[in-house]
């Protein structure tokens, strides 16, 4: 199959950029020191390639991602790096030893939910500055005791410094150190082997975690590239020019249902500048040196990888105009 | 099934608000004078209810919506109100007379694509001020001649004044009149019975079209309500509180993969104010008078209906805590 024959909109993954991103991360965080975050790409086929690169433990953000990864045979060490009160779908997987399942907990309620579902292993999720999930650091030891009292093994701690991913380079390392000091203090109270945290934006400065939770790095997006030096855009939406005005604009069939828009507009490659995105349209101003005709195919770089991929049924791994593989985005929804 | 038993995130449609919206629109635009736009809800089950309310002609934005509506027996008069060069999937439907298919065209290329696919009926799409699809008004007559020369019937014109949906009430009517004057001039050159246009934001001021292309009105969203007096929010995302901080915030499991974010953050109902949305989380500041506990269910109003619904597999029609019907969102993707 050729790229120019694909129905549009379609998502493309440039195999060379993807491989360079995977190789670069594996050099710094080899094997199990990287726990790739499945939420960024929601595809067991893509995860399989990361496992082949040596990363056989994964993070998930939803129970659906956990069950899907286990069903695909990628369950050597799955961490639900998120809180959930709806863990019963994991019970049969744990009971049958079909996968190693660990879940994050940050409250008596989430510990109770894990115990009720027969979960055997947990991490204590600690708030390290991002106002989201994670217990107060002072409560971490007490929660670990509670989990152990319910018969579960506490493998360690996790803490996500998501508020620091976009800090300027000259202050990022220092702020991450302070944030991770909180996590290490909590770890001293909790025990266990694991200190899990970090992400694509702190891959080069977080030297405190025992495993990095990065997912975006392999596909990337236009918003994240400046904040994660070393990685490049490997993900593109392919659109068709369906209309062209003599007044200087043209319209692609890649609309809001194609892109995560929380990080702003996507970036049109070569043909011009994005003006705005509607439900099923992207209007762009035709570049001065560009020739654009109805029927042309144009690539667009998404501004946020995770909520872009989750809107599509499949990813196409491409090399120039050749489609090498089709990866189902099979971990979508909840 | 009860609402409080639904796995979250889930989309809810309040049956009373929905019915009020449908009734209100049907009073002003009864029967075939309203051509509901399927793109807003992408569900044949919801479309069936609008057909029962008398609206048996529909607009679509994608070929997938057209084929799905035809397959569901809702093909009495389907308009692809968008340009496409990929119309071959409509050929068997037209050839077998399984549905009445009309497509919008705005260029020699789109006319050629329609003719090549065996499409029998077209509308000339005219640009009336929104920089998106639609031909130059001066070209409309010539394009109609070209379509007729290729053996197709030209049923009239369409023109979408989408740039005026959010104009202040005191100037909207005048600007819509000017925009529609362009469309009526083009119609005089084109001929045919149909002048199709308008939307939820101009439902009360566009008195020039023969049929209104409104879709958002039946579900609505927080951003559109101020611009479409008379309609109310009928769509809600249901989330579960998965984490709560003593510092004053709590976290829902309704993240970026739940909401179209191009119109900004969604609105938390009663429990507090949305601070930010992450991939699988919504952090909100707990309201002064609110009591929020881990495990609580909270409703959230999306900011943009179309790209919210398109991220979900189903809609739940609810009356209080009762789930009355489950509507598959079966027209997603392309």
Q: Is residue B261 part of a domain?
A: yes
**Predicted confidence (pLDDT) at residue B236 exceeds the cutoff of 90:** yes
Residues B50 and B156 in one domain: yes
pLDDT > 70: percent of chain B: 100
* Residue A291: predicted pLDDT: 94
Q: Is residue B25 part of a domain?
A: no
* Residue A169: predicted pLDDT: 86
* Residue B196: predicted pLDDT: 98
Residues B287 and B179 in one domain: no
Give the mean model confidence (pLDDT) for residues B39-45.
98
Given B213, B243, B272, the domain boundary residue is: B213
Residues A54 and A198 in one domain: yes
Cα separation of A323 and A316, whole Å? 6
Treating both helix axes as pointing N-terminal to C-terminal, what angle do A140-149 and A108-116 enclose, rounded to 10 degrees? 20
A61 to B247: CB separation less than 8 angstroms, yes or no? no
Q: Is residue A334 part of a domain?
A: no
- A268: closest CA of chain B, how far (Å): 16
pLDDT per residue over B105-148, tens digit each? 999 999 999 999 999 999 999 999 999 999 999 999 999 999 99
Cα separation of B320 and B212, whole Å? 32
pLDDT per residue over B63-102, tens digit each? 999 999 999 999 999 999 999 999 999 999 999 999 999 9
Which among A243, A293, A311 has CB closest to B83? A243
Helix (H, G, I), strand (E, B) or coil at A26: helix
B334 to A85: CB separation less than 8 angstroms, yes or no? no
Q: Chains A, B: CB contacts under 8 A, how many? A: 144
Please name the residues in contact with B154: beta carbons below 8 A apart, sequence gap of 6 or more. Answer: B121, B122, B123, B124, B144, B147, B148, B190, B191, B192
Query: Which residue from B minimizes the CA distance to A285?
Result: B131
* Residue B279: predicted pLDDT: 98
A85 to B240: CB separation less than 8 angstroms, yes or no? yes
Best B243, B277, B281, B302 member to test A by mutation, with max A CBs in 10 Å, is: B243
* Token digits of residue B327: 């509507």
Please name the residues in contact with A231: beta carbons below 8 A apart, sequence gap of 6 or more. Answer: A21, A24, A25, A200, A217, A220, A224, A225
Helix (H, G, I), strand (E, B) or coil at B296: coil
Residues B43 and B147 in one domain: yes
Which among B131, B281, B333 has CB closest to A132? B281
Give the mean model confidence (pLDDT) for residues A195-212.
97
How many domains does chain A fold into?
A: 2
* Residue B274: predicted pLDDT: 98
Q: What are the strands of the beta sheet with A211-212, ordered from one edge?
A: A57-60, A77-80, A101-105, A121-125, A153-159, A194-197, A211-212
Q: Is residue B167 part of a domain?
A: yes
User: Could you tell me the pLDDT band of residue B302, with boundaries at 50, 70 and 90?
Assistant: very high
Beta strand residue intervals within B214-263, DSSP E: 235-244, 249-252
A244 to B107: CB separation less than 8 angstroms, yes or no? yes
Cα separation of A299 and A269, whole Å? 5
Helix (H, G, I), strand (E, B) or coil at A38: helix
A245 to B82: CB separation less than 8 angstroms, yes or no? no
Cα separation of B212 and B36, whole Å? 8
Q: Is residue B225 part of a domain?
A: no
Given B213, B246, B279, the domain boundary residue is: B213
Which among A82, A85, A245 has CB closest to B280? A82
- A253: closest CA of chain B, how far (Å): 8
HSE on the CB side for B130, CA within 13 Å? 27
* Residue B284: predicted pLDDT: 98
B242 to A82: CB separation less than 8 angstroms, yes or no? yes
User: Could you tell me the pLDDT band of residue A70, with boundaries at 50, 70 and 90?
Assistant: very high
Residues A150 and A41 in one domain: yes
Cα separation of A23 and A30, whole Å? 9
Dihedral sign, Cα of residue A281, residue A283, residue A287, residue A293: positive
* Residue B170: predicted pLDDT: 87
Helix (H, G, I), strand (E, B) or coil at A30: coil
Residues A50 and A167 in one domain: yes
**DSSP assignment string, A139-206:** GHHHHHHHHHHTT-EEEEEEE--GGGTTS-HHHHHHHHHHHHHHHHHHHHHH-SSEEEE--GGGTTT-
Cβ-Cβ contacts under 8 Å, B281 against chain A: 82, 132-133
Q: Is residue A224 part of a domain?
A: no
In sequence order, what are the beta bridge partners of A34? A212
pLDDT per residue over B155-212, tens digit each? 999 999 999 999 998 899 999 999 999 999 999 999 999 999 999 999 999 999 999 9
- B61: closest CA of chain A, how far (Å): 7
B256 to A306: CB separation less than 8 angstroms, yes or no? yes
pLDDT per residue over A124-137, tens digit each? 999 999 999 999 99
* Residue A170: predicted pLDDT: 87
Q: Is residue A221 part of a domain?
A: no
Give the mean model confidence (pLDDT) for residues B289-314.
97
Cα separation of B135 and B128, whole Å? 9
ipTM over cut 0.95? yes
How far, in Å, are A279, A286, B83 from residue A240 at the CA level? 15, 14, 11
Cβ-Cβ contacts under 8 Å, B334 against chain A: 7-9, 253
Residues A168 and A282 in one domain: no
> The domain that contains A242 carries what CATH number?
2.40.37.20
* Token digits of residue B174: 């005048």
Residues A195 and A256 in one domain: no
Residues A205 and A293 in one domain: no
Q: Which residues of B260-285 are buried (b: 16+ CB within 10 A; e: fewer)?
A: bbbbbbbbbeebbebeebbbbbbbbb
Cα separation of A231 and A200, whole Å? 9
How far, in Å, are A124, A158, A186, B120 from residue A145 at the CA level? 10, 16, 13, 73
* Residue B233: predicted pLDDT: 98
pLDDT > 70: percent of chain A: 100
Q: Is residue B223 part of a domain?
A: no
> The domain that contains B75 carries what CATH number?
3.20.20.10
Cα separation of A40 and A60, whole Å? 9
How far, in Å, are A25, A235, B134, B318 from residue B306 at the CA level? 37, 24, 22, 19
Output the average pLDDT for chain A.
98
Residues B76 and B143 in one domain: yes
Whether the pTM exceeds 0.80: the reply is yes
pLDDT per residue over A82-93, tens digit each? 999 999 999 999
Output the average pLDDT for chain B.
98
Which among A7, A106, A133 has CB closest to B334? A7
Which among B85, B132, B332 has CB closest to A295? B85
Residues B68 and B142 in one domain: yes
Given A159, A187, A213, the domain boundary residue is: A213
Look up the domain containing B270 and give its range: 3-11+231-328
Residues A159 and A47 in one domain: yes
B85 to A294: CB separation less than 8 angstroms, yes or no? yes
């Amino acid at each position: 199959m050729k790229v120019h024959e694909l129905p549009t909109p379609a998502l493309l993954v440039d195999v060379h950029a993807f491989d360079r991103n995977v190789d670069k991360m594996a050099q710094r965080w080899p094997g199990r020191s990287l726990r790739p975050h499945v939420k960024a790409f929601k595809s067991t086929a893509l995860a399989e390639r990361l496992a082949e690169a040596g990363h056989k433990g994964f993070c998930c953000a939803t129970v659906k991602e956990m069950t899907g990864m286990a069903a695909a045979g990628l369950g050597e060490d799955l961490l639900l790096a998120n809180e959930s009160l709806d863990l019963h779908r994991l019970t049969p997987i744990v009971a049958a030893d079909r996968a190693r399942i660990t879940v994050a907990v940050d409250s008596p309620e989430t510990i109770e939910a894990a115990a009720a579902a027969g979960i055997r292993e947990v991490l204590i999720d600690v708030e390290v500055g991002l106002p989201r999930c994670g217990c107060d650091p002072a409560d971490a030891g007490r929660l670990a005791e509670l989990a152990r009292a319910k018969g579960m093994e506490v493998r360690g701690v996790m803490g996500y410094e998501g508020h620091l991913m976009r800090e300027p380079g000259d202050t990022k390392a220092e702020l991450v150190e302070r944030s991770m000091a909180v996590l290490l203090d909590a770890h001293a109270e909790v025990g266990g082997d694991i200190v899990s945290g970090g992400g694509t934006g702190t891959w080069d400065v977080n030297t405190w975690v025992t495993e990095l939770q990065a997912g975006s790095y392999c596909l990337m997006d236009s918003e994240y590239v400046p904040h994660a030096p070393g990685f490049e855009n490997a993900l593109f939406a392919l659109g068709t020019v369906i209309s062209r005005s003599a007044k200087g604009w043209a319209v692609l069939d890649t609309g809001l249902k194609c892109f995560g828009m929380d990080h702003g507009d996507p970036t049109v490659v070569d043909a011009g500048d994005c003006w705005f995105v509607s439900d099923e349209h992207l209007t762009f101003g035709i570049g001065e040196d560009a020739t654009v005709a109805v029927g042309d195919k144009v690539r667009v770089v998404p501004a946020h990888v995770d909520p872009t991929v989750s809107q599509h049924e499949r990813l196409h791994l491409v090399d120039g105009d050749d489609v090498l593989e089709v990866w189902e985005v099979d971990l979508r929804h909840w």
